[in-house]
Amino acid sequence: MKNIMAFASFFLKEIVRGGRTYYAWLVCLGLLIAIGVAGYLEQSVHGHIVSNMRDPVPWGLFIGTYAFLVGVAAAAMALAVPGYVYNWKPIKDIVVLGEIIAISAVIMAILFIMADLGRPERFWHLLPFLGKPNIPYSMIAMNVMVLNGYLVLNVVLVFYFLYCSYADRPYNRAFFMALMLFSIPAAISIHTTTAFIFNVLPARPYWNSAILVPRFIATALCAGPALMILAFQVLRKAANINIRDEALVKIAEITAIVLFVNLLLFFAEVVTEFRSATAHTVHMQFYFTGIGDDVGLAGWAWFGATCNVLAFLLLLIPRTRKYPVTMNLGCVLVFIGVFIEKGIGLVLPGFTPGSLGEIYEYFPSRVEAMIAIGIAGVGVLVFTLLSKAAIRLTFSEPLEEDGHLQVEGSPKGAYRPDPVRP
């Protein structure tokens, strides 16, 4: 028990300790969060009418981003598989950081749902025992259960790992490996239930297809690792730690393969829809070409698809995958492409045209954007704080007096990442 208290105080001390850059970063995040709080207050006072969601399109930015973020969270397991199932050391070192991304993403996802609810103070109606959750029929209820379970799982994994690091204790292999391996089907299940939220509704033919489930998993396993590659490079620079390039390139390779699957499924959807040309095709038409005078979302659709294709090429070709500039460009493109595909390209065409044929063109309002910015700030803050402590515990050597970390084997204060060889 005393050890746990010491660990907690070490953790808290580590979070608040830092240089000027660190504090500047925290202040920036604080500003973003303040914007979000202001937006949320405005929404609390006036109600959701300050958003642009209306009866024909009852879901918008919040739910689209929620679906996207659950995917990002699920992708933490993209590291767990090569790291622990295949026991590959370069990735094993960074699995904990992947789980921290997962935790941040799940927290953001939960915040987006809370921001979207008309009566967020009644969230306890969803809890088992206290409330009356409609399981197993309601996919939102199932998703909430599974998502919270996944959050608990990742929190337990991360903090158990960090505590064992801190206390210089060997971790219980059976317990740890059981949870780590369990996190793989858990990650699949959170995103499968998210896909089920959409595809079990016969009222929305654009979504009502089994292919939505593998599409969700595929897009998740593209966007998540891409984010990780970018985030780890930032961490590597900011905290001077050794994350091996071969690890990053391997993650990029996985991303390329999954992106191929994603493009294939996307191609299958498009061909099926336009060749069958039933009344339901109008939704995809709205997305790609617009209907009648309405240009619809055509610009976004083509931009997103182009991003995905370009990203695929960049990450597939070994020369561009290994060269950092093009690798990073590929990651940014796939992140944007998947966000468009899942955020804009999933929710909006599903509702346009509506059940009784009405067309309502939705675009996020100022308040929705403010709240989204704030929640993004919270997510990045959670990631910053947790990874600060985690890096200190898992990557560092004894501190030098001047506060710089020293990595074993490299000259003092002169650590540089391995150059990438083409």
Partner 1 sequence: MQPRRPELKYAAPREQRSAWPLLVIVLLAVSLLGADSWWRPSNSDEGYPSRPLQSESEPVLSPPPPIDEEYFPCSDCHEDELADPERRELDEHDYIKLAHGDLWCLDCHQSDQRDLLHLSDASPVRMEESWRLCTRCHAKRIPDWRAGVHGKRTGYWRGPKQYRTCVVCHDPHSPLFKPLEPMPPPIPAGDLRASSREEEEVPHAEQ
Partner 2 sequence: MPNSERKARSTSRRQFLKAAGAGVGTLAGVPGAAQAFDLAEFFQAHFRELSREELEGVIQRLERKYSEKFGKAVTVDAVGPNDGVLFGYGLDLSRCIGCRRCVYACVEENNQSREPQIHWIRVLEFDRQDVIRGIDFEDGNPFYDHEEVPAEGKVYLPVACQQCENPECVKACPTTATWMEPDGIVVIDYNWCIGCRYCMAACPYGARHFNWTEPEIPADELNPNTHYLGNLPREHGVVEKCSFCIQRTRHGRYPACVEACPVGARKFGNLLDPDSEIRYLMDHKRTFVLKAELDAKPKFFYFYG
Note whether 365 binds partner 1 by CB under 8 A. Answer: yes
Please list, residue by residue across 71-107, b when 16 or more beta carbons sit within 10 angstroms of its beta carbon and e when fewer do. bbbbbbbbbbbbbbeeebebbbbbbbbbbbbbbbbbb
Residue 62 interacting partner from partner 1, partner 2, none (CB closer than 5 to 8 Å by kind): none
Residue 234 interacting partner from partner 2, partner 1, none (CB closer than 5 to 8 Å by kind): none
Instruction: Give 57's DSSP letter.
Output: B
Rounded CA-CA distance 9/32 in Å is 27
Note whether 46 binds partner 2 by CB under 8 A. Answer: yes
Closest CA to 184 of 68, 76, 71: 76
In whole angstroms, the minimum distance from the beta carbon of 378 to partner 1 comes to 24
- Residue 409 or residue 419: which is nearer to partner 1 going by CB? 409
Binding part of the chain for partner 1, among 48-56, 111-119, 342-350, 409-417 by CB under 8 A, reads 48-56
Note whether 121 binds partner 2 by CB under 8 A. Answer: yes
**Do the beta carbons of residue 77 and residue 70 sit within 8 Å?**
no
Single-letter residue type at 283: H
Among 132, 237, 366, 404, binds partner 2 (CB under 8 A): 132
Residue 178 interacting partner from partner 2, partner 1, none (CB closer than 5 to 8 Å by kind): partner 1
Among 117, 268, 271, 399, binds partner 2 (CB under 8 A): 117
By CB under 8 A, the residues from 247 to 286 that bind partner 2 are 279, 282
125-164 footprint of partner 1 as x/- string (CB under 8 A): ---xx--xxxxx--------x---x------x-------x
**Do the beta carbons of residue 92 and residue 362 sit within 8 Å?**
no
Among 1, 87, 137, 275, binds partner 2 (CB under 8 A): 137
Among 29, 33, 52, 327, binds partner 1 (CB under 8 A): 52
Closest CA to 20 of 203, 199, 209, 238: 238
By CB under 8 A, the residues from 321 to 380 that bind partner 2 are 350-351, 353-358
Rounded CA-CA distance 417/336 in Å is 27
Closest CA to 216 of 357, 27, 14, 75: 75
Task: Find the angle CA(213)-CA(219)-CA(220) to the nearest 5 degrees.
Answer: 90
For residue 316, count other CB atoms closer than 10 A to its CB: 17
Binding part of the chain for partner 2, among 103-111, 201-209, 268-276, 363-371 by CB under 8 A, reads 201-209
For residue 414, count other CB atoms closer than 10 A to its CB: 9
Residues that bind partner 1 (CB under 8 A): 6, 10, 46-47, 49-50, 52, 54-57, 92-93, 128-129, 132-136, 145, 149, 156, 164-166, 168, 170-175, 178-179, 358, 360-363, 365-367, 392-398
